[in-house]
Chain A
Amino acid sequence: MAASQPAAERLTDSLKDAVVAAVIALALFSGLIGIRTTADVGGLGLNFRWELLAAAVATVFAGRFLLNVFVWRTDKPVTRLFSGPMPKIPGLDKLGVIAGPIMLIAAFMLPVISWNFFGQQNRYIMDLAILVMTYIMLGWGLNIVVGLAGLLDLGYVAFYAVGAYSYALLSTKFFPLMVELGYAGPGIMDWAFWVSLPLAGILAAFWGIILGFPVLRLRGDYLAIVTLAFGEIIRIVLLNWYEFTGGPDGLSRIPRPSFFGIPFSRGEGGFADFFGLGYSPMHRIIFLFYLILILALITNFVTMRLRRLPIGRAWEALREDEIACRALGINTRNTKLTAFAIGAMFGGFAGSFFATRQGFISPESFVFMESALILAIVVLGGLGSQIGVVIAAVVMIGGFEIFRDLAEYRMLVFGLLMVSIMVWRPRGLISSRNPSVYLKERKAVGAEHVAEGRG
Chain B
Amino acid sequence: MSQWEKDPVVTVEHLTMRFGGLVAIDDLSFNAGRSQITALIGPNGAGKTTVFNCLTGFYKPTEGRITLRHDNGETFLLERLRDHEIARDAHVSRTFQNIRLFSGMTVLENLMVAQHNPLMRASAWTIGGVFGISGFRQAETEAIDLAKYWLDHTRLLDRADEPASDLPYGAQRRLEIARAMCTRPVLLCLDEPAAGLNPRESAELNQLLRYICDEHGLSILLIEHDMSVVMEISDHIVVLDYGSKISDGTPDHVRNDPSVIAAYLGVDDEEVDAVVGTEAE
Query: Which residues of A approach B to under 8 Å, CB–CB?
Result: 302, 305-306, 309-311, 313-314, 316-317, 319-321, 323-332, 338, 433, 435-443, 445-446, 449-451
Q: Complex: how many Å from CA A424 to CA B116?
A: 36
C-beta contact mask, B75-90 vs A, less than 8 Å → 1, else 0? 0000000011111100
A212 to chain B minimum Cβ distance, whole angstroms, is 17
- Contact A437 B130, beta carbon cutoff 8 Å: no
Q: Complex: how many Å from CA A328 to CA B100?
A: 11
Q: Complex: how many Å from CA A325 to CA B115?
A: 11
Provide the residues of chain A in CB contact with B160, threshold 8 Å: 438-440
Interface centre among B88, B93, B101, B109 (most CB of A within 10 A): B109
Q: Complex: how many Å from CA A310 to CA B111?
A: 11
Q: Complex: how many Å from CA A180 to CA B114?
A: 55
One of B84, B100, B103, B126 near A449 (C-beta < 8 A) = B103
Q: How many residue pairs, one in A and one in B, have C-beta atoms under 8 Å apart?
A: 140
Given A327-B93, A329-B116, A450–B104 Cβ distance below 8 Å?
yes
Which residues from 126 to 141 on chain B have a C-beta closer than 8 Å to any C-beta of chain A? Answer: 126, 129-130, 140
Which residues from 95 to 119 on chain B have a C-beta closer than 8 Å to any C-beta of chain A? Answer: 96, 100-106, 108-109, 112-117, 119
Given A326-B84, A332-B84, A321–B119 Cβ distance below 8 Å?
no
B161 contacts A by Cβ under 8 Å: yes
- Contact A439 B93, beta carbon cutoff 8 Å: no
One of A306, A326, A327, A435 near B106 (C-beta < 8 A) = A435
Q: Complex: how many Å from CA A446 to CA B104?
A: 8
- Contact B56 A327, beta carbon cutoff 8 Å: yes
Q: Complex: how many Å from CA A367 to CA B266?
A: 64
- Contact A439 B105, beta carbon cutoff 8 Å: no
**In the complex, the 4 A-B pairs of residues with the closest C-beta atoms, listed nearest first:** A450-B104, A329-B87, A329-B88, A320-B102
Given A327-B94, A446-B163, A439–B102 Cβ distance below 8 Å?
no
B179 contacts A by Cβ under 8 Å: yes
Which B-chain residue is minimally distant from A441 (CB atoms)? B161
B162 contacts A by Cβ under 8 Å: yes
Beyond the given A329-B84, A330-B117, please list 16 additional residue pairs across the A-B interface where CB-CB is below 8 A: A302-B130, A310-B129, A323-B58, A324-B100, A328-B113, A329-B88, A329-B117, A338-B126, A435-B108, A436-B109, A437-B109, A437-B140, A439-B108, A443-B161, A445-B163, A449-B164
- Contact B87 A309, beta carbon cutoff 8 Å: no
B254 to chain A minimum Cβ distance, whole angstroms, is 28
- Contact B112 A325, beta carbon cutoff 8 Å: no
Which A-chain residue is minimally distant from B158 (CB atoms)? A440
Which B-chain residue is minimally distant from A309 (CB atoms)? B129
Q: Complex: how many Å from CA A419 to CA B33?
A: 59
Can you list 16 contacts pairing A with B, beta carbon distance less than 8 Å? A309-B129, A310-B115, A311-B120, A311-B126, A311-B129, A317-B113, A326-B58, A326-B87, A329-B116, A329-B183, A330-B113, A330-B117, A437-B108, A439-B144, A442-B161, A443-B161
B279 contacts A by Cβ under 8 Å: no
Provide the residues of chain B in CB contact with A311, threshold 8 Å: 120, 123, 126, 129
Which B-chain residue is minimally distant from A447 (CB atoms)? B104
Which B-chain residue is minimally distant from A316 (CB atoms)? B105
Q: Complex: how many Å from CA A314 to CA B88?
A: 14
One of B119, B162, B164 near A310 (C-beta < 8 A) = B119
B89 to chain A minimum Cβ distance, whole angstroms, is 8
- Contact B83 A328, beta carbon cutoff 8 Å: no
- Contact B126 A328, beta carbon cutoff 8 Å: no
One of B56, B103, B105, B119 near A435 (C-beta < 8 A) = B105
- Contact B84 A310, beta carbon cutoff 8 Å: no
- Contact B123 A309, beta carbon cutoff 8 Å: yes
C-beta contact mask, B147-184 vs A, less than 8 Å → 1, else 0? 01000000001001111111000000000000110010
Q: Complex: how many Å from CA A306 to CA B96?
A: 29
Provide the residues of chain A in CB contact with B161, threshold 8 Å: 435, 438-443
A29 to chain B minimum Cβ distance, whole angstroms, is 43
One of A306, A323, A441 near B130 (C-beta < 8 A) = A306
B185 to chain A minimum Cβ distance, whole angstroms, is 10
Given A309-B126, A310-B119, A328-B113, A439–B148 Cβ distance below 8 Å?
yes
